Structure 1
Amino acid sequence: MRKKVILYKAIPLQERKRLDEIFDVTYFDSIDDSNRDAFFTALAETDGIIGSSVEMSSNVLNKAPRLKAASTISVGTDQYDLDYLAKRNIPLMHTPDILNETTADTIFTLIMCTARRAIELSNMVREGRWIKSIGEEQYGTDVHGKTLGIIGMGRIGYAIAKRAHFGFNMPIHYSNRSQNEVAENDLNATYMNMETLLKTSDFICVMAPLTAQTKHLIGEKEFALMKESAIFINGSRGKVIDESALIDALTRGSIRAAGLDVFDIEPLPANSPLCKLDNAVLFPHIGSATAETRLNMVACAVDNLIRALNGDLSKNCANKHLFNR
């Protein structure tokens, strides 16, 4: 008998066909109030689930007593409780490596847009307010040669640092749970505590995963440590920062600007104070959003689920280290 799988996100047809060839698939293009009951009913008999952008709490997964594997179409795993899954010996598969370079491109776009005030000045042109040569009040700031501080020197952090070092001759400061010798050897990166990094960096980029320990990692105290000329970038998860503290820092001018690809609430409400700030560049969570990378992520997630349901956890299992503790 073929295993039963729930697909809870719209994916390219060729990847859906691969699932259909192997599994008995129940498909939801998303989960909302209109289909939540049907989703819960399907969970009761499913062996595997695959998708993204839906919180899969223990209360939800308790409705799936037969569940043997979950595959998220993302590198982040914060939609799942890894400890809960491990207690049930359910592997959570994810898609590391595939999106590193694309996400680093996005983060560096945020760095450039904030430094050169690209969105603000583009709007000035579009709205007919460019009537003379710009003056000092519209000047941006250089990127080359400035110090980049990265909080979370993982795969994506390294890819960002590589661009900064080789492309813009930027000294690299970083804070991480452990030292990254590759970054130190290849990019001359300097390991330091977060307080020192915040005080000394011109650009501060947060790439830490969202965990209980990193929620509101950056708040009022941390923004107060930054230079007034500092530019803050968040490409991790919205809840890693205290958004109200960031809004206050931007409004008071205690930091120069911020570039954000993630937010506390997504989509960002149109009435958010961030939308009124010229010194905030806002992207709609597009870190990995290129056609090539998103297709590769889906293909990887499908491969991951197939392998996991066949008992192969040798690659891309996010919680294998928690099993049988």
Structure 2
Amino acid sequence: MKKKILAPALAPSVGEWSEKPDPIELKRLSEKLMEYAEVQVYQPKDSREWLEKISDVNILAGGPKVDKEFLDNARRLELIQGFGIGYDHIDVEECSRRGIIVCNVGEIYSEPVAQHALALMLDLSKKITLADKAVRDGSWRKMDWMGIQLWEKTLGIIGLGNIGGRIALKSRLAFNMKILAYDPYVLPARAQLYGAKLVSLDELLRESDFVVVSVPLTSGTRKMIGKRELTLMKRSAYLINICRGAVVDTEALIWALENNVIAGAGLDVTEPEPLQEDNPLLKMDNVILSPHIASSTKEAVYETYRSAVENIVRYLMGEKPYWIVNSETLYMRHELKTNSY
């Protein structure tokens, strides 16, 4: 009997915000899955419909918040395949307890996110956005927009995974930056491959001219950058967040910027999203904002969808899927081929 797949990720986009391939490509990917499974390409309208649709599904391709109530109604669920980096909308611990494999597609988005981090660093250091606005408003006062060089500055990277590693390599090779990194899950040998030195979080904050936050959102990383951490930074330093808004305490960041505790910030993500109209961050000249688009490139979107579908096919063929978030579930899934480990 074929397994059942519910694939909201492959449904055509609805609304203004779209990070999906065009409908022709979505149809092609859906047909690929249909060669191996019974596939329903559909986006449930509300939580009630979600709970109804998920009851006999084996594989979820994309989807909503996955909590205990959702999982209680998904008694046949085996695999959740995400179509992006983040998985903070999924109760991974509960999935693990039930033997449900959770996968993302992390590596593919690493390149555009790393590029975006450098773009924010360059914008902050050279004040490009401010200068552009001034020119459009009729000003041509060069000295008003005196910047700083990135060359041989110290870059601190919090989270030296695929994204953090790419940021380290690019910054070192392009600007000869000294790279400090904080990541309790990375060995010194791996850090050396990126030209980075592992240090404590406090040392990184004290020594860095730019601090890039690149960690997943977990209970341990939520608000990991607060008032204490911001106070440790140089007054001339900039904070850049390209991971999840909730990793930084928004109120503490506003306080730090209003009181010149740090020089500025580049934020692709905020908490909440979008910011309310009266949020002080929207009125600060030393803050560069982008609407959670660090991963948004045509190349990355197409490759991500293709790779996610291929990963589902791997699982359907009895192979170990890639990018498993909760690898402990493999010990509960003896039907997967051991020669693919």
TM-score, length of structure 2 as denominator length = 0.87
Question: What is the match of residue 42 of structure 2?
Answer: 28
Question: What is the match of residue 134 of structure 2?
Answer: 124
Q: Secondary structure at the match of 2:142?
A: coil
Question: What is the match of residue 160 of structure 1?
Answer: 167
Match status 1:57 vs 2:57: no
> Is the CA contact 1:69–1:309 (under 8 Å) kept in the aligned structure 2?
no
- Distance (Å, rounded) in 2 between the aligned partners of 1:215 and 1:167: 32
> Which has the bigger relative contact order, CA under 8 A and spacing at least 6?
1
Match status 1:304 vs 2:318: no
For 1:208, the aligned partner's letter is V
- Distance (Å, rounded) in 1 between the aligned partners of 2:185 and 2:237: 25
Q: Secondary structure at the match of 1:99?
A: helix
1:197 Cα deviation from its structure 2 partner = 0.6
> Is the CA contact 1:173–1:191 (under 8 Å) kept in the aligned structure 2?
yes
> Is the CA contact 1:215–1:239 (under 8 Å) kept in the aligned structure 2?
yes
- Distance (Å, rounded) in 1 between the aligned partners of 2:256 and 2:121: 18
Question: What is the match of residue 256 of structure 1?
Answer: 263
Q: Structure 2: which 5+ runs fail to align? A: 12-19, 333-341
Aligned residues: 318
Distance 1:251 1:129, change over 3 A: farther
- Distance (Å, rounded) in 2 between the aligned partners of 1:60 and 1:184: 39
Question: What is the match of residue 134 of structure 1?
Answer: 142
1:182 Cα deviation from its structure 2 partner = 4.6
Match status 1:92 vs 2:87: no
1:113 Cα deviation from its structure 2 partner = 1.1
1:283 Cα deviation from its structure 2 partner = 1.2
Match status 1:226 vs 2:227: no
Q: Percent identity?
A: 31
Q: Secondary structure at the match of 2:160?
A: coil
1:152-191 alignment runs, 5 A limit: 152-182=159-189, 184-191=191-198
Question: What is the match of residue 337 of structure 2?
Answer: none
Q: Secondary structure at the match of 2:152?
A: coil
Offset from partner CA, 1:64-104 (integer Å, 9 cap, x none): 11111110011222221222111111111111321222211
**After the TM superposition, which of the residue ranges 73-82 and 283-292 deviates more from structure 2?**
73-82
> Is the CA contact 1:26–1:42 (under 8 Å) kept in the aligned structure 2?
no
> Is the CA contact 2:265–2:287 (under 8 Å) kept in the aligned structure 1?
yes
Match status 1:45 vs 2:56: yes
- Distance (Å, rounded) in 1 between the aligned partners of 2:188 and 2:194: 10
Write out the 4+ residue segments of structure 1 that deviate beyond 6 Å after TM superposition.
none
> Is the CA contact 1:102–1:288 (under 8 Å) kept in the aligned structure 2?
yes
Match status 1:19 vs 2:33: yes
1:133 Cα deviation from its structure 2 partner = 2.6
Question: What is the match of residue 281 of structure 2?
Answer: 274
- Distance (Å, rounded) in 2 between the aligned partners of 1:301 and 1:271: 39
Q: Secondary structure at the match of 1:97?
A: helix
